[in-house]
Amino acid sequence: MYKLQEEQRLLDLSKQLVKSDIHEQEAKQLREVIEYADWKYYVKADPIIADAEYDALFKKLKNFEAQHPELDHRGSPTTRVASGLNADFPSVEHLVPMLSLENSYNAADLLDWDRKCREQSADALLEYTVEPKFDGASISLVYEAD
């Protein structure tokens, strides 16, 4: 799908865009970079950029589009509901929905998340378990008695 030269161009472009403000032309390039990163991650299972960099690029594009609703954003990665990029893992119905979590990269994000949890919980005493995150797949297990 992508030639080696095009892959290198998009990788270099991702490093430039993460550091700079964007305008309409850069937004088009940013969409290209995100689509390429999605393809590498979901189809090829070969991520090219770190999650934090991807999230920063995606957030930058989302903010730009929110600030410029007059521009055409159809087809943008920010409007994609479900990727459908890889059929190797078919969708299944879970007993309990598997929901996405918000990304957090600093203490302020975690404190904000804690505040939201406390607001939504009638139980004032909340306990958390923190574990390293392994990217790439999710699993839901149901244990049954023998």
Instruction: Please identify which of the residues 3, 59, 116, 133 carries the catalytic annotation.
Output: 133
Sequence-distant contacts of 80-89: CB under 8 A, at least 24 apart: 83/38, 83/42, 85/38, 85/39, 85/42, 85/43, 86/42, 86/43, 89/137
Verify whether residue 133 is a known catalytic residue.
yes
Positions annotated as catalytic residues are 133
